Structure formats: C-alpha cells, structure tokens
Structure 1
C-alpha cells in the first residue's frame, strides 16, 4: 500500500499557526483541545462555559460557535444536519458577508498569538471558509483529526439530546468525510479518541512531526497537568471497535470509513485510501435526497407519535386528577357522616351535663353567700393590717434615710483617707526616685574606680615582673663573673704571671696607683 510521503517541516515559514481540530461532536475534540492547551497552544479569549456533559470545558470560542451556527443557517443547514453543506455557498456573496466578522473574531479571540487552537465540530463542514479567512489574516492552518467509534458518538448524543442513534451515525459520517476531503493538502495528523485517552504522551511527537511544529510547554509539569486533566472517569459510552467493524448489519459506508480512519491513526495517512473515501462520499451524497425524504417522514411520524403520547399523558393526568377528586369526595362524605353521628352524641351528653350544671349552680349559689360573709370579715382584718404596714414602712424609710447619711459620711471620710494615702505614696515615690538616682550615680563611680584600680594593679604587676627580670639577670651575670674569676685564679697562667704582676706594681710610679 502506498503511503503518503512525509511533508518536510517548513522552517522558513514564520507565519502564525492555527491548530484546527476537526472531529464530530462527542468525539473527544474537547479533550484534545485541553491537551494542546497544556502543551503551549493559546485558547480563545471568550471560552464556551463548561456543561454537565463536558465538566472540564469545551476549549472553544463561544463567539466562533455562534458565527458557525449563523453560517450554517444562511446555507439552509444546522449543526445536526447530515446532508452536504451547499457547495455553492462558499463562492456566493453570502460568504463574503461573513468573511469580515470571521476575521474580526480571529483577531479578537487570538490577538497576536503565534500558536493557538481553533476548535468547533461545525468547522468540519465549513473548513474551506475558515482556511480562506486564516490565510487572509496571514495565519497558517494545520489540522488534527480526531475520531471516535460512531456507536459511542451515537449513544452519547442519544443520552445528551435524545437523538436517534441511526441519525447520529449519519451525522458522524458527514462530518468526518467533509473534514477529511477539505483538509487535503494541509499539514495534518490523525488520531482516535481511544489513543488520546490511553497513550496521549506517545502521540505528541507524531502530531508535532506531522504538523511540522514544536510544543512550547512539553515538560514534566505539563505531563502531570495533562494526566490530571484526562480523567478516565469522565469517559462514557465505550464499545469495542469490533462491535461495529464486524457487524454485517451496520452501514458499509460507516464501517469502511471508520476502518480507514483507524488504520490512519495507527499506521499513518495512506493516500491510496483517498479514492475509496471519495467513492463513499459520492454515494452518500447521491443517496442524500432519498434518505432525506425518508428520514423527514420518519421524524414527522415520530413527532406525531410524540404529540399523541403527550396528549395521552395529559389525558391520563386529567383522569388521575378526576379520580383523585372522586376519592377525596367519597372520603369527605364519610367524614361528614361520622362527624354528624359524633355531633348527635355530643348533644345528648350536653343536655345531661346541663341538668347537672343547674343543680351544681344552686349549690354554688349558697356557698357564694357564705363565702361573701367570710370575705367581708377578711377585708376588715386586711384594712387593719394595711394601716400597721404603713406605720412600719414609715419607720423603715426613716431608718433608710439615716443609713444613707451614714454611708455618705463614711464615703467622704474614705475619700479623704485615699487622698492622704495618695499624697504619701507620691512623696514616697519621689524619695525612691531620688535614692535610685543616687544609687545609680554611686554605681557608676564605683565602676570607674574599679577600672582605675584594675589598671594600677596591672601596672604594678608589670613593674614587679620587670624588676624581677632585672634581678634575675644581675644575679646570673654576677654568678657568671664569679665563676670566671674562680677559673682565672685557679688557672696556671695566673700563677705563672704572679711575679710579673708584683714587679708591675713595684715599678708603677707612686701617686698613680
């Protein structure tokens, strides 16, 4: 099989570079965008917000996504359309109308970045438009294709959007065929979502070599960040590739396209496969009108069934509400019957109780008269007690006044004593400060005298040592002289010269001795 020759790296091309990620929705484009960002590629300024289906984020421009939706709508299409995008749109005045806003977005989202990621699955069907915009902005586009098992893509879209799996597979086929065909001639690299999740580190060199790039942030720290980013727990809907490739009931177009992409991801792009992919695309395009009518009829039927199911659910809801109202009415009737019986029984008990209360009232009336007399007597005694209490209160108030006068006098005396004690305390403090100053001065003088005494003692010690050295020297010299004299007197020469010394003294003139 003929292999596509490797493109030499364009070392002389110093233009800015846009790494364009091409892949179907739910195929790992966001994971790839996050990895490229960790390797040093800049992200758009206005990132699309994360979502529960993509908690790590989308790593794509919300503004570019909105523009792509507008472009698709202007061509009578949408993101979930599986039919080919109108090829005449790219040469129409409508394309020129969108070119200026697209160029402004490239400038606004990526400023003057020399290496940035451009990602949106919609670009798979609009790549000719965006390559033209990038070239006009003096930006060199390079492409990374990422694909995923279409069964997993379909399952994910069914979970997220309620989309039919067969329709999702047709959308997958349209995206990957358009992306592959329109990116031929550009530097590009192919990989699968499985490869990215299982061995991203082994892909970095191959992708960089295919694109003629170097990753600015390829380091141990970046590897740790990417390892933490690619969490296996966030990966769902995993089916073995054999479940599609070996299924004779699956679409042959999808199986063949997926098999080619798998081979390219594992062994490199093979130009001999171009005719096979082009043939699949032509057959797919020619069959699109027939499929479109069938699919639209089926979707209309599904919408009709859905409306009927909704109406049936509403009727069932109303029927349940009526049944509940009937049950509530029956329960209320039973409760009223029970309440009527209880009220009749209560009325009989109330009548008997009324007779008993009348008899008790007569007895109570007699007791009230007796108690009234007792109360009159108690009131007289209470009045007498009140008079006595008032006398006691007067005496207590007088005692209280006297006590307050005594307290005031005691307080005044106490304040005078405190003032006197304060004055004495201040005098004592003044004397203490004077004594402390005297002690400080004496301490200073003693320290100075101590220094002088030490100096004098040092000088005396030095003088004594010098005098001792002089005495030792003189004694040593005297001892040496004595020894020399003894030696001279004991010597033979001294005895032989004794007559000469006597003649010398005899011949010495008198008066010169």
Structure 2
C-alpha cells in the first residue's frame, strides 16, 4: 500500500476519493474538520495539515489594503502586482487563494519540522486542496508517494464553490476577507490545475481522475490498482452532487480541463 497525496480544487470530489480510502489503514490525520451539509460524509482533512499549508501560503497572500477606492488606480503604478490580488483570503480560507504559477512557494525550518512529523506516520493519505499550490514544499519529505489529482468540469466546480461560500457562515465575506465572484473562483480553479500540470506532475507517479470516474466501478478499480489499497466501494454517493453548470468558460480554462480529461482518459463532449 503506497503513501498517497490527494489534491485538486475544492468541490471537485477530493473528499469523496479520500473517503474511499479512509478504511484502508492509512494515517489521514488526528483532528478532522466536522461534517456539514456540503460534505455530509466528511472532508477527511486534518487541521494540522491544513494549518501547515495555510502557513506556507501566508507570505504569498498580501494583507488587505485599507485605502480609498479612488486611489487604487494611481497606486497600481507604484505597488507590485501581487499586492492587488483580487481575493485575499484570511487564515483557514486560503484554499480559495489565487497564486500565480511563477510564484516561489516559501518554506522555513519550522514548517519542514512539522511536515516531517506528519510524513513519519506511514502509510499516510493526505488530502488538502492547498496541496495544489504547496506540494513543492512537501515533496522532499514524501516517501514512496503516489499523487491523485481529482477534478470536475470548471463551471460546475465554480458554481459549487460559490454556493458553499454563500451558505456557510464562516465562509462569509466578513470572515474570509474576500468577496468571491464567478471570475475569481474560475481564476482559482485555473491556477490550481496550472500548478499541477506545469509544475507538479512532471515528477512522481500520478493518477488523474474525473469526478464521474470516481463514482464508477472502473474508476474505483483504477484507484485501487494505483494505490495498492483496499477501496471502500460503498462510499461514493453520486446523489450528493447538487451543482451543475454549463456556463461557458474561457479558452485557457477549457484547454486545461481538456488536458486533465486526456490524462484521466475521460471523454468529454466538446459540441
């Protein structure tokens, strides 16, 4: 049974895939976030793992600037572009962050020590959408680890993210520090998978799996073969999915989605 890291945008099916492996004997964490309506079977995300990734991302997310709107245009000439990220999530909400592909992902001796403490607990199955950005910091300390990238069509994923943010109190603007729009959520989706395709998947063994595959017997067979773990075939429940959108997305985003589908051997209708 191989160690596993599960990554991909939030609301794409990563929790469902993690759930199918939750009874296989993996260490997945010691303090899971509680269930809620969006994920009634659980998120399978550990608080400490999330916090490590939050701390890695913190230097990349500039603090909100409390300046009059009329000065923004003038200040853009003098302040680095990254200071004007359109969404600046506060701690615990950086799974909604937009991190440029060219950004250097920082680390520290304290973070490395915490990562090593987690990765000593083998076999492990670690799941967090933030890995889509932070994986380079973790990779040197991952042993015999297989990587599972879960994805879903971008329009439906974005709709699900927006529904989640509008229906859960702790994801409100007052708590997160952002007002997430369709365009911003789509940018986040695009950037996360850009990081995976352009930076992460060139090394290591990867399984790309579409949400629809993850609820199928064939997809579960692939997951079991890839990980060497026993998969709980009763766990996936496609009826939990409530969001669907056929809203058009930009060409760049669609190209990334097509590439993911190609890697997953999943056929899509391009008509």
Rounded to whole Å, the distance in 2 between the matches of 1:258 and 1:85 is 17
Q: Are the equivalent residues in 2 in contact too, given 1:33–1:119 (CA < 8 A)? A: yes
Residue of structure 2 aligned with 1:106, choices 104, 116, 119: 119
Counterpart of 1:124 in 2: which secondary structure?
helix
Alpha-carbon distance, 1:105 to partner: 3.2
Per the TM alignment, residue 119 of structure 1 is displaced from its structure 2 partner at its CA by 0.5
* 1:54-73 correspondence to structure 2 within 5 Å: 54-73=39-58
2:185 corresponds in structure 1 to: 168
How much has 1:70 moved relative to structure 2? 1.4
CA contact (8 A) 1:72 1:79 kept: no
2:14 aligns with 29
- The 3-state SS of whatever aligns with 1:37 is coil
Decide which of 122, 132, 135 is 2:130's aligned counterpart.
122
Match of 2:255 in 1: 256
Residue of structure 2 equivalent to 1:153: 157
Where does the alignment leave 5 or more consecutive residues of structure 1 unmatched?
1-15, 269-513
Three-state SS of the structure 2 residue aligned to 1:189 is: strand
Tell me if the contact between 2:15 and 2:44 (Cα under 8 Å) persists in the aligned partners. yes
2-structure distance, mates of 1:43, 1:83: 26
Q: Which runs of 4+ in 1 moved over 6 A?
A: none
Residue 45 (structure 1) aligned with residue 53 (structure 2)? no
CA positional deviation for 1:98: 1.4
CA contact (8 A) 1:196 1:203 kept: yes
Task: Map residues 127-276 of structure 1 onto 2, 5 A cutoff.
Answer: 127-134=135-142, 139-162=143-166, 163-180=180-197, 181-197=199-215, 199=216, 201-209=217-225, 211=226, 213-215=227-229, 217=230, 222-223=232-233, 226=234, 229-239=235-245, 243=246, 247=248, 250-266=249-265
Contact 1:143-1:189 at 8 Å conserved across structures:
yes
Query: How many positions carry a matched residue from both structures?
Result: 222
| CA distance 1:63–1:129, shift in 2 (3 Å) | same
Q: Deviations over 1:355-392 (max 9, x none)?
A: xxxxxxxxxxxxxxxxxxxxxxxxxxxxxxxxxxxxxx
Whole-Å separation in 1 of the counterparts to 2:130 and 2:105: 15
Higher RCO (C-alpha 8 Å, min separation 6) = 2
Q: Distance in 2 between matches of 1:207 and 1:37?
A: 13
CA distance in 1, matches of 2:59, 2:181: 25
The 1:89–1:39 alpha-carbon spacing in structure 2 relative to 1, beyond 3 Å, is closer
- Equivalent-residue separation in structure 2 for 1:23 and 1:173 (angstroms): 11
Report deviation, 1:86.
Answer: 6.4
Change (3 A) 1:43 1:98: closer
1:19 is displaced (CA, Å) by: 0.6
Q: Output one character per residue of 1:40-86: Cα deviation in whole Å (capped at 9) or x when no partner.
A: 54422222221222111111211110121111113336332223166
Q: TM-score of the superposition, structure 1-length normalised?
A: 0.40
CA-based RMSD: 2.4
State whether residues 28 and 147 of structure 1, in contact with CA within 8 Å, keep that contact through their aligned partners in structure 2: yes
Equivalences for 1:379-458 in 2 at 5 Å? none
Deviation (angstroms), 1:256: 0.9
Rg larger for: 1
**Residue ranges of structure 2 left out of the alignment (5+ in a row):** 63-93, 167-179
